[in-house]
A and B are shown apart, each in its own frame.
Chain A
């Protein structure tokens, strides 16, 4: 009975949302086969307390890897421990998220197992003896269907492609030792640079408010921040031009060379809509654009466009969103 291993990503002693997405995806893959889902979580002692949450989302077994040194994520230790477990046998698929951590980890695990992998997967289904996957390529301008025939099948799922779903299983805890001494890892984290507090991550936020050069000056990004605050659950992004000018950190950049996001709502403020930018946000469910130039390409992909100066429209929009939220 082939089982599916889901890598349950943690950071700072907490499960990340993508951990639940990976377990949900693994459940889908295991169900057709009558297999079990095993979720593996690494962390400092105490991370095992998160097992019930993984069980609730469909993990039959939670493999808990606790070690004081694992308070800090180590890709070397995680890759070695996942691969060692899979090599014991019984697994025909391994699921990661295509998050920063998962993108770093999944290919290393695949190489340790001697197999190719499906990367940044949008959708999957079993087909014949393999797994058929969807993946976007060419600056997100095409959708490929690929057949992965290697076993085990290693996949990294695009964050947000699978919504976490409750599907309670026992979540029986099994303690697993790290496959290498965390103290012998060659790559050592010297310092962690925190992101901005109080905002969800760009890849996880249901609403993304993004600004471009149409804001005219770095300090006007305050208006974008205020609009994001009005939503309460919004992340703030920017264009490459703005990141290059140093108005915003590179990590906020959305586009071909930055982050790819698929929120429920994307609000583009003062963004013309170059291919470079569209590549990172064209799969958003609803797109709103505010731009002075009515010919700007952003309006061609926007569901709702307002022609106007961002500095005038955004404060009005912020006030209206605040009112709408109050009405709820």
Chain B
């Protein structure tokens, strides 16, 4: 079982974000970074799968500047066998450009499963996984909250609005992982030491010209909240009045 997990390094979402001087994007200087949440679940699912089967290996892949190696090292310290860094000077907004580079790397890798997180916490797009699947011509299941493989086939539970479906598919396949499937483990000290000696291959890649670019980024206006109308059940009549006459939602 050879599993690739594609991960992204993103800033801590608890941060107070500022906009760059040119107004185009988020100023990421001085922020704390980590592996994107759903990508962490995907790494954990992949590790559990190879542990359960007692065979196979997990290879983590990330595209971006040198700093993404931090996220790759973290995945190595969790237990991934090796890492591939596709080096670019930035991570473009154009998900198709990213998927094209990933597909070129993954195509000849002989992977049984290629995993993604459902979406990255910064871009909140969720397009790179299904696009990569399509470019590789592989079966694709997204928003997976349960995953089992046996005999060259996979069974996945996929979350829908207020429901779910159970899907079956042949391997190799591409899946994107939703929440609720597995809590990512914390790297042990031993894991962190071992990760330093694990192979991390960095190779420059040329991205295709982007056709989706951020031109402006803004912080949404703060909500004018903060109005406490009263305490306990006694405040309910006033709330009803405001919902009817002011907010006009009742």
Contact = CB atoms under 8 A, between A and B. Distances in A.
B126 A257 contact: no
A130 B136 CA distance: 28
A221 B62 CA distance: 42
Contact of B93 (A108, A114, A146, A316): A146
A119 B225 contact: no
Interface stretch (B106-114, B163-171, B193-201): B163-171
Interface string B209-248: 0111111111110011111111111011101101110010
A107 B131 CA distance: 5
Contacts of A189: 165-167
Interface string A235-275: 10000100100000011010011100000110000000001
A301 B217 contact: no
A119 B96 contact: no
A149 B213 CA distance: 9
A187 B166 CA distance: 10
A321 B13 CA distance: 36
Nearest to A307: B231
A139 B237 CA distance: 35
Interface stretch (A50-58, A84-92, A162-170, A194-202): A194-202
Contact of B26 (A100, A138, A282): A138
Nearest to B25: A144
B22 interface: no
A305 B125 CA distance: 33
Contacts of A116: 94-97, 127, 210-212
A14 interface: no
Contacts of A315: 233
Given A111-B130, A187-B139, A250-B179, A199 B227 contact: no
B80 to A, nearest CB: 22
A157 interface: no
Nearest to A73: B165
B69 interface: no
B134 A107 contact: yes
B160 interface: yes
B164 to A, nearest CB: 4
Measured as residues with beta carbon below 8 angstroms from the partner, the interface class of chain B is 35 or more
B173 to A, nearest CB: 8
Nearest to A190: B166
B11 A117 contact: no
A143 B95 CA distance: 18
Interface size class of A (residues with CB under 8 A): 35 or more
B130 A104 contact: yes
Nearest to B11: A138
Contacts of A207: 249
Interface string B106-142: 0000000000000001111111111111110001111
A220 to B, nearest CB: 16
A324 B236 CA distance: 12
Given A114-B96, A116-B95, A140-B124, A186 B169 contact: yes
A44 interface: no
Nearest to A297: B225
Interface in A69-122: 75-76, 79, 99-101, 103-104, 106-108, 110-112, 114-120
Given A139-B13, A193-B163, A282-B223, A312 B232 contact: yes
A189 B27 CA distance: 43
Contact of B95 (A107, A235, A265): A107
B140 to A, nearest CB: 7
Contact of A313 (B14, B233, B249): B233
Contacts of A320: 236-237, 239-240
B236 A286 contact: no
B232 A313 contact: yes
B165 A138 contact: no
B161 A201 contact: yes
B180 A312 contact: no
A100 B160 contact: yes
B217 A308 contact: no
Interface of B: 11, 13-14, 17, 19, 25-26, 37-38, 93-97, 99, 121-135, 139-143, 145, 155, 157, 159-170, 178-180, 210-220, 223-233, 235-237, 239-240, 242-244, 247, 249-250
Given A100-B143, A108-B134, A138-B122, 7 more contacts: A110-B127, A119-B126, A187-B168, A188-B168, A196-B162, A251-B159, A264-B249
29 contacts: A100-B143, A100-B159, A101-B160, A107-B129, A116-B127, A132-B215, A136-B220, A138-B11, A138-B13, A143-B219, A146-B212, A149-B211, A190-B166, A192-B166, A193-B163, A193-B164, A240-B179, A243-B180, A279-B13, A286-B243, A287-B225, A300-B226, A302-B225, A306-B230, A306-B236, A316-B236, A317-B233, A320-B239, A324-B240
